[in-house]
A and B are shown apart, each in its own frame.
Chain A
Amino acid sequence: MNKTVLKTALAAVLMFGFAFALIPLYNTFCEITGLNGKTSGQVAEDILITQTVDENRVITIQFDASVNSKLNWEFRPTEFEMQVIPGKLYKTEFYAKNLSNSEITGRATYSVTPRVASLYFNKTECFCFTEQTLKAHEEVIMPVTFIIDSKLTEDINLMTLSYTFYKLES
């Protein structure tokens, strides 16, 4: 009887730990599969070497920007859409302005849809996950350079890159 109690109690404790273990498991799983739309961070430009460019294949990239309600900023893409050829390097810019009378630090997260396509979306320069501090009424232009992997599957010809800026609570 003591054995039964011990084993079941141990199982309960392990399952409590399992809930927390799900966090890294989930993140690794998503990174490998790209399922939650997160691309695997920033990559170096030498990814270009491995690309085979097909000039005839053109896909559309849409840009989207939003701000969390707690952050009093204006934030938008400078162009809403772009035609790109997979395997080539492109650059676009996002515009942000602090609308408040005080200095605020924000941080952006991003996602790519369709989610599976995020595996093929490589950013070589990006303002994601770095802190941006804007003085009162300061404006910035933030560049993003990216390469769509030429191995992108045939069925995808439209992608959306979306950024959300959050206020960083100190």
Chain B
Amino acid sequence: MSHAAVATHDHDHDHKPKGFVKRWLMTTNHKDIGTLYLIFALTMFIFGGALAMIIRLELFQPGLQFVQPDFFNQLTTMHALIMVFGAVMPAFVGFANWMIPIMIGAPDMALPRMNNWSFWILPFAFTMLASTFFMDGGAPAAGWTLYPPLVLQGGQNLAYAVFAIHMLGISSIMGAINVIATIMNMRAPNMGYLKMPLFVWTWLITAFLLIAVMPVFAGAVTMLLTDHYFGTSFFNAAGGGDPVLFQHIFWFFGHPEVYIMILPSFGIFSEIIPTFARKPLFGYVSMVYASAAIAFLSFIVWAHHMFSVGMPFGGELYFMYATMLISIPTGVKVFNWVSTMWKGAMTFETPMLWAIAFVILFTIGGFSGLMMAIAPVDFQYHDTYFIVAHFHYVLVSGSVFAIIAGVYYWIPKWTGNMYSERLGKIHFWWSAISINVLFFPQHFLGLAGMPRRIPDYSTQFAEFNMWSSIGGFAFGLAQIFFIIIVIRTIKGKGTTKATDRVWEGAKGLEWFIPSPAPHHTFQDGEAVKDEQLAHVSTH
């Protein structure tokens, strides 16, 4: 008899509210809200992915074939905004909602009603953002970085984009407050900070980052709005403002933002790797400190995105060295993952395959980051396809792989059904190969000087672009396959019933409650037992 069976016996079975409106629209249940976030993120992933497919279609050959340059710029801008704010961030919030209360033995999130708002703001925000496609002048086309003066010359979409950003900023901040309040106040007895799973730790740190930088981003876009509509001159040189100032404010938000998108994925992989290596995570405490160090450093390196704006020599040097410093805690993490696998009794179920691919491909992305951190050579890489390759290696094979791996890892717990291992492996190999065909050639394109955000290019770039497009279509198709796998698992087609433990010897509270997880868990506030936890640090 596990302790969780006791915890849930008085509350499980059919305590779910009936009817669509009550169950989903008005839900305050962390698991239901987590599910909503994940479905929403998947929808946005398809939408953003479709835009990317048009981009790769246009770039398949030199010349203009399918879209006009202005629409092309709308595509790149909206692809990025939707993937960053609509797909990756909400997906991680979905994981947080589902898993954090379970992992720390809490009955729900600390602020369940606010949780409901945080989610239901999002569909409205993104409807507003997407509606700009149908407006005069189209969607925002100045890039996701929204640099003035260009972004101010694009018509009325600016107001819509800014309000959408305000709304999803509010959503993120409320979500972050909720995560912090939950972790700091709702841990079950005997769940000390240094016993928390790493996913909980990385999310706690991410939540602090969100609270620190989302408001700064909201402030920056508010200034764009007043510059455009109310005659202020924050970024308008004619009125004594400075457009470069926007870049500083944006990247003060933007660099921590990229860590907001990667820290939770560090957390997910730090859960998966020990399970399949059948060893405790190597260097648990150093992982916590490394995450905190990365978060701190992310505030003081922002101008590595601006090496070519004409910074003084001292500034270039400072931001170059500070940026390189980040690779130390990041390296600590990579070594810890590898050491966890070292001499482990490894098996290669689907989540583990994604984890191993992540360690390798993310490291490639880290290396290209280091190359660009070298200020003098970044003048060549900046705004070329090299940087496009860099951030897709860290964001797709980092964040998106983590989301996919996390779904495979926890979906048996969520649905009670074991996904088809055979299909999962096909999906993995298909994606792992195509992503490299898609993004690796872009390194060479960038080094040879192909600029980013252009619909046409000179003919010497044709071959690599064709390869990249083929890889892109293959990768896109693989994700349709993923959706089929997920739906089949939810419906229980071609699957087996999942056991409660799901993975042999897996540790962590989620593996000591039934599968599928009952609607209510950990209602009785009972103390957690050390032997159920993956990390019981002695520090």
Residues of A bordering B, CB below 8 Å? 1, 4-5, 8-9, 11-20, 22-23, 26, 30, 33, 35-37, 68, 107, 109, 113-116, 129, 164, 166-169
Contacts and interface: CB of A to CB of B under 8 A. Distances in A.
B19 interface: no
A109 B212 contact: no
B184 A22 contact: no
Given A18-B219, A22-B245, A115-B310, A12 B173 contact: yes
Contacts of B216: 15-16, 18-19, 22
A109 B235 CA distance: 13
A129 B315 CA distance: 28
Contacts of B111: 5
A8 B237 contact: no
B426 interface: no
Given A8-B211, A19-B215, A23-B234, A113 B240 contact: no
B177 A113 contact: no
B249 interface: yes
Nearest to A70: B238
Question: Which of A15, A20, A36, A166 has most B Cβ within 10 Å?
Answer: A15
B244 interface: yes
B262 interface: no
Contact of A15 (B213, B222, B238): B213
B480 interface: no
Contact of B180 (A8, A19, A35, A107): A8
A164 B310 contact: no
Contacts of A68: 238
A12 B238 contact: no
B489 to A, nearest CB: 36
Question: Which of A13, A22, A68, A168 has most B Cβ within 10 Å?
Answer: A22
Contacts of B211: 8, 11-12, 15
Contacts of A13: 215
A19 B310 contact: no
Interface in B184-235: 184-185, 211-220, 222-223, 231, 234
Nearest to B236: A166
Given A12-B211, A26-B245, A167 B238 contact: yes
29 contacts: A1-B184, A4-B185, A5-B181, A8-B180, A9-B177, A11-B212, A12-B215, A15-B215, A15-B219, A16-B216, A16-B218, A18-B215, A18-B219, A19-B215, A19-B216, A19-B219, A19-B249, A22-B216, A22-B249, A23-B234, A30-B242, A35-B311, A37-B310, A113-B310, A114-B312, A115-B312, A129-B240, A166-B237, A167-B238
Contacts of A22: 216, 245, 248-249, 252
B375 interface: no
B43 to A, nearest CB: 27
B238 A107 contact: yes
A38 to B, nearest CB: 8
A116 B214 CA distance: 33
Interface of B is mostly: helix
B277 to A, nearest CB: 35
Contact of A35 (B212, B218, B312): B312
Given A22-B245, A164-B237, A5 B218 contact: no
B129 interface: no
A29 to B, nearest CB: 10
Given A15-B212, A109-B238, A5 B177 contact: yes
A18 to B, nearest CB: 6
A8 B181 contact: yes
Contacts of B223: 19-20
Contact of A116 (B213, B215, B217, B312): B312
Contacts of A9: 177
A158 B514 CA distance: 75
Contacts of A109: 237-238, 240
B54 to A, nearest CB: 30
Contacts of B237: 109, 164, 166
Contact of B238 (A114, A115, A166): A166
A16 B480 CA distance: 39
B238 A20 contact: no
Contacts of B517: none
B4 interface: no
Nearest to A38: B242
Given A8-B180, A20-B223, A30-B242, 6 more contacts: A5-B111, A11-B211, A14-B215, A18-B216, A68-B238, A167-B238
B145 to A, nearest CB: 16
Nearest to A35: B312
B281 interface: no
